[in-house]
Structure 1
Amino acid sequence: MLGNVFASGISPLFGLIMQEFHCTENEASQLGTYVLLTLGLGALAGGLIEALTPTILAETFSGHHLAKAMVVYVGFLAVGAALGPIISGAIAKCLGEWRWLNRVMSITVTVNLVFNILMLPETTRDGISLHEGAVLGGQNEDKLPSKTECKAEENKIENVMSTAKTISSAEQVMLKREYVRRSFSLHFVELNWKAFLISFFQPLKLIVLPQVLVTVIVFGLTIGWTVIASILISLIYTQPPLIWDPLSIGLLNTGSLVGIIIGLPIGGALADMLFNRATRRSNGVTSPVTRLPALLPGALLSPAGCIVMGFALRDPDNYIVVCVGWGMLCFGLTGPANVLLTYAIDCLPTRAAHIGALANVTKNSIGFAVSYGTVDWFRKMGPVGQFFTMAGILWGSYLLVIPLWVLRRMLERFGARFE
């Protein structure tokens, strides 16, 4: 989330940067590319976190709640991209210096790192049970004590309570020891450097799986189109005759924030509801593909948002319509994109980290590529032509989901080879 706040927060500052460095709008727009490049260099940390989170969720939550847990992860990534411009605009207006965004983000990332070290223990299961204490109740419940046995029973109860206190204290010590072992030791780390290169390229094998390929394409395109919208909106509203200040430009992201929030129950609760209902009807037989119908609303609305934005940007004074279109586009981040990510991870839960790594690489690569040529593309085709093309490409990527549903049996057998 914080990485996306930093990356997306650059766009509202284009006006201040152009004034200070006397650069063109095209050069300023490429700052988003340079920021993505720095994120690539910092992927040893940030990219690792984004790749590991799906694994942590798959280990922590059961399949019946996986989509709801995953949508929180995707939602925070998307909310970071929406809040970034608002935060940077407020910082620039209140402090009058665009560099303060970097300073504030550095402090925030440091605090976040400390809390992660203290509050995020290892989630890998090693078969150790933390609650193997004796059963204190449930024995001889059929016998009712007589009056002559009351005193003896009272003594037994006192003994049981003292035993429970002893076991409770022992459990607390055991939990503390387990917390330290899982948080501050190398017990779960395999330092096998010989397998480093193999592990580095291992996720790439999954790209041949249609479940993973379609997921990373839709996820990457939705992120890429969001980057394009952020850059173009910032440049259009910075230039004359509008000349909006950074905070006003940042507040345009309210539309995208609303779309992201609306998509949360669709990509999370609705997807899990469909999965659980199908599981009950099939007598407990689970099938990840049963979540896919939940992406239908987003598959229609998200590309349509590009069309709405294209027409609205012909007359930028219609900023309300721009916000509506942007919200429709960003609805696809937490709606259909999360459904596909949950579906892919549920198909291959043991390869969740690899799927997360592929999704991370794809979205950053597409964002890097489109941000570099966004302004030239806009000048050649205009807002309507550019955003219509974006909508067509995004709709085309959603059509790739149909074979996932039709060929689900064959794909399940094919995916089992990669477990």
Structure 2
Amino acid sequence: MSETSVTQRSGARLVEIEGAQMKTLGHLRLRDKDTNEVILVPTPSSDPKDPLNWPRWFKLYTAVAVCFAMILCNFLAAGPTLAILQTAQDFFPNWKETGMSGPIAKTAYFFNCTALFQGLGNLLWMPLINKYGRRPIYVTAFTIYTITAIWCAVAKEYANFLVARIVMGIAAGAGECLAPITIADIFFLHERGTITALYNASLNLGVASGAIVDGFIVKFHPWRYIYYVAIALIGFVTLIVYGTFPETAYIRNFAPTGIITTLTSSGQRVRRGVKSEEAGVAGASEVEVASHDATVESNPGWIQGLRLYHGKYTHESLWQMTIRPVGLLILPPVLWATLVMSVTIGFITAITSNVASAFSTAYGFEAWQSGLCFVAAIIGCAFGIVLGGHFSDWVADYFTRRNNGIREPEMRLPAIMVGAITGPLALALYGCGIKWQMHWIVPTIGIGLINFTITQATNVSLVYTIDSYRPIAGEIVVTQLAFKSAFGFLLGFYTNPWVEKHGYNVAYGEMAAICGGVLIFWIPFFFWGKKIRQITLSWSVMKWVRWDDDREVGE
């Protein structure tokens, strides 16, 4: 094999393989050529303060704690929709004279605006996260989130409550973009799919747990008790953030050429040198890159890293990082992954926006009974974690082995075929089940399957784009979350008119067709995604996307 040379040029690596030059990201050796052992990417430093060197138990604790925080971020976003009737009656006491359609439509703004600003708020948070680190934003956002929960609990006027819900959405949105970045900071490439699946599941579990808990609350107590319970839960998580969430951002000085760290079958790390011709295709773990001229000191260990501020982590301007998601949306892999997240999460928004009235009309269910149907969502998420996480990692590793240890981001994509089947099926079951008043288990299975699809398919597409553009993973996540929120905001308003005009079976059948049409695009990306990524690096739009060298993380 010819010598592999790697240089840095505007954040993209120029890799010369067998005489042919190609710009690429995410193209690296993940398995040792001789031993077939997993190569740790990024290469961990010898610094015990490096987050990649944290104890395994603390990494897992951090991942679980972050995901629990994510559950609570969505607990108040959509969960209280189960109490929309009681909320409308409270804010519009003359509802008996005016009817309920107007008050319910106005009350829906509480929840739709929260969902919208959860995504749009990320455009504010992500530049700050990249510039000043993760911990300051965790502390700030969850402090504001706790305050807004108290604010909502005591707000008596419509406008006051609406403003509180909007600010709540901005604060809660920080968790959505912080979680996947934190996971990418502390876990290696070969572990990322499984752990990120927990994050995607937590997005759904927040809505599902909110629906279940809130349904029981409004059965026995006034609707404001939803916020009293949330204050206790969110306050508890905020204390965890204050006391146990250290900074995970780390300025990494990459290993010299020919130095790799592998993971043996017994879990031992082995750091050794290899000849350049044996290294094959190198990731940053096998490439010498100049040390970053950073304005941040070496990251303290996880126990000592609880200081609020550690310095700046990039020289990029806040404005540059704010507008970058606009350019990213034009890149085909990012656009497709954004549509995957939008149609899957957007259509569960369509379901939750009228689930109470749908089950009430079709089956005579009360709010708490409709909420219990979301137990299926929890079951769906559990299976989605396995098939979206461990299974997708297994699929990617299978194709990596077949490719002589070389990993491409597209090797993960075949795992999404499961979600491409269950997504349309879920929407068809829900729509037809409600329309023809089949047994209540039919639409309930639909709820479970769509939540499975969100966890499974969204995880595959999200990790695919993070692997493809790892240095700007934060902006990648924000692009998808912001568009998803805008799409969900529109669906929140137009689902009921859509259903009223065409019926549940036709409306959700059309949603099923859209969902399947988007997900099936995994096939062309699997075969031609690498070439698409190479071609797009020369597009003029890349001037919006290019990043400074100090954003490189070793992939």
**TM-score, normalization by structure 1:** 0.82
The partner residue of 2:380 within 259, 266, 290 is: 259
| SS of corresponding position for 1:10 | helix
Aligned residue number for residue 111 of structure 2: 35
1:113 maps to: 238
Q: How big is each residue's C-alpha offset from its partner over 1:130-173, in whole Å with a ceiling of 9 and x where there is no partner? A: xxxxxxxxxxxxxxxxxxxxxxxxxxxxxxxxxxxxxxxxxxxx
**Contact between 2:204 and 2:377, CA under 8 Å: does it hold in 1?**
no
1:382-415 deviation digits (Å, cap 9, x = unpaired) = 1111011111111111133222122123123246
| Alpha-carbon distance change, 362 to 30 in structure 1, aligned in 2, over 3 angstroms | farther
AA matched with 2:204: A
Aligned: 1:189 with 2:312: yes
Quick one: structure 1 residues 60 and 211, their matched pair in 2 at CA, closer, same or farther if it must change by over 3 Å? same
Q: Does 2:251 match 1:126?
A: yes
1:388 pairs with 2:499? no
Of 504, 527, 530, which aligns to 1:409? Answer: 530
Contact in 2 for aligned 1:86/1:250 (Cα 8 Å): yes
Q: What's 1:102 paired with?
A: 227
Measure the CA separation in 2 of the matches of 1:19 and 1:32: 13
- Judged with a 3 Å threshold, the aligned counterparts in structure 2 of structure 1 residues 185 and 242 are, in CA distance, closer, same or farther, namely closer
Residue type of the alignment partner of 1:212: V
C-alpha displacement of 1:26: 6.3
Structure 1 residue 51 and structure 2 residue 183: aligned?
Answer: no
Report the counterpart of residue 206 of structure 2 in structure 1: 80
Structure 1's 190 and 125: CA in aligned 2 closer, same or farther, altered over 3 A? closer
Higher RCO (CA 8 Å, separation ≥ 6 residues)? 1
Q: Name the CA distance, whole Å, in 2 between partners of 1:332 and 1:29.
A: 29
Match of 1:331 among 434, 446, 452: 452
Q: CA deviation at 1:191?
A: 9.5
More strand by percentage = 2
Q: Give the superposition deviation at 1:78.
A: 1.1
Q: By how many angstroms is 1:109 displaced? A: 1.7
* CA 33–226 in structure 1, closer or farther in 2 if over 3 Å, else same: farther
> Which residues of structure 1 form unaligned runs of 5+?
130-174
| Bigger shift: residues 65-74 or 40-49 | 40-49
Looking at secondary structure, tell me which structure has more helix per residue: 1
Please list, as runs of the form range in 1=range in 2, the aligned pairs for 1:210-229 lying within 5 A after superposition: 210-229=332-351
Q: Distance in 1 between matches of 2:470 and 2:227?
A: 37
Is 1:8 the counterpart of 2:78? The answer is: yes
1:347 to 459, 464, 468: 468
Contact 1:211-1:404 at 8 Å conserved across structures: yes
Pair 1:315–1:207, CA change in 2 (3 A)? same
CA offset digits 1:325-354 (Å, max 9, x no partner): 121222211111111111110111111111
Question: Letter of the aligned partner of 1:10 in structure 2?
Answer: P
Supply the AA of the counterpart residue of 2:344.
T
Matches within 5 A, 1:348-363: 348-363=469-484
Give ranges in structure 2 of 5+ residues lacking alignment: 1-70, 118-165, 255-297, 548-555
Distance in 2 of aligned mates of 1:197 and 1:176: 25
Deviation at 1:97, TM superposition (A): 0.5
Q: Deviations over 1:201-241 (max 9, x none)?
A: 122211111111111111111111101111222112345x8
Amino acid at match of 2:76: F
Q: Distance in 2 between matches of 1:309 and 1:382?
A: 12
2:301 alignment partner in structure 1: 178
Q: 1:293 aligns with which of 408, 411, 414?
A: 414
1:218 partner amino acid: V
CA distance in 2, matches of 1:74, 1:26: 35
Alpha carbons 1:7, 1:32 under 8 Å: kept: no
Residue identity in the other structure for 2:510: T
Question: Judging changes above 3 Å, is the alpha-carbon distance between structure 1 residues 176 and 263 closer, same or farther for their aligned structure 2 residues?
Answer: closer
Cα drift, residue 181 of structure 1? 5.3
Q: Is the 8 A contact 1:18 1:25 kept in 2?
A: no
Q: In the alignment, which of 194, 198, 202 is matched to residue 324 of structure 2? A: 202
Aligned position for 1:61? 187
Contact 2:193 2:388 (8 Å CA) reproduced: yes
| 1:33 and 1:368 in contact (8 A); partners too | no
Deviation at 1:67, TM superposition (A): 0.5
Count of residues in Structure 1 that have an aligned counterpart in Structure 2: 371
Give CA deviations for 1:288-347 in whole Å, capped at 9, x if unaligned: 111111010110111111111111102446211110112122221111111111111011
Higher mean alpha-carbon deviation, 360-369 vs 312-321, is at 312-321
Distance in 2 between the 1:293 and 1:177 partners? Answer: 40
2:393 is matched with: 272
Does the 8 A contact of 2:431 with 2:505 survive in 1? yes
Contact 1:345–1:352 under 8 Å retained in 2? yes
For the 8 Å contact 1:71–1:334, the answer to whether it is kept is yes
**In structure 2, C-alpha distance between the alignment counterparts of 1:189 and 1:103, rounded to whole Å:** 38
Report % sequence identity: 24
User: 1:342 and 1:258 mapped to 2: Cα distance?
Assistant: 22
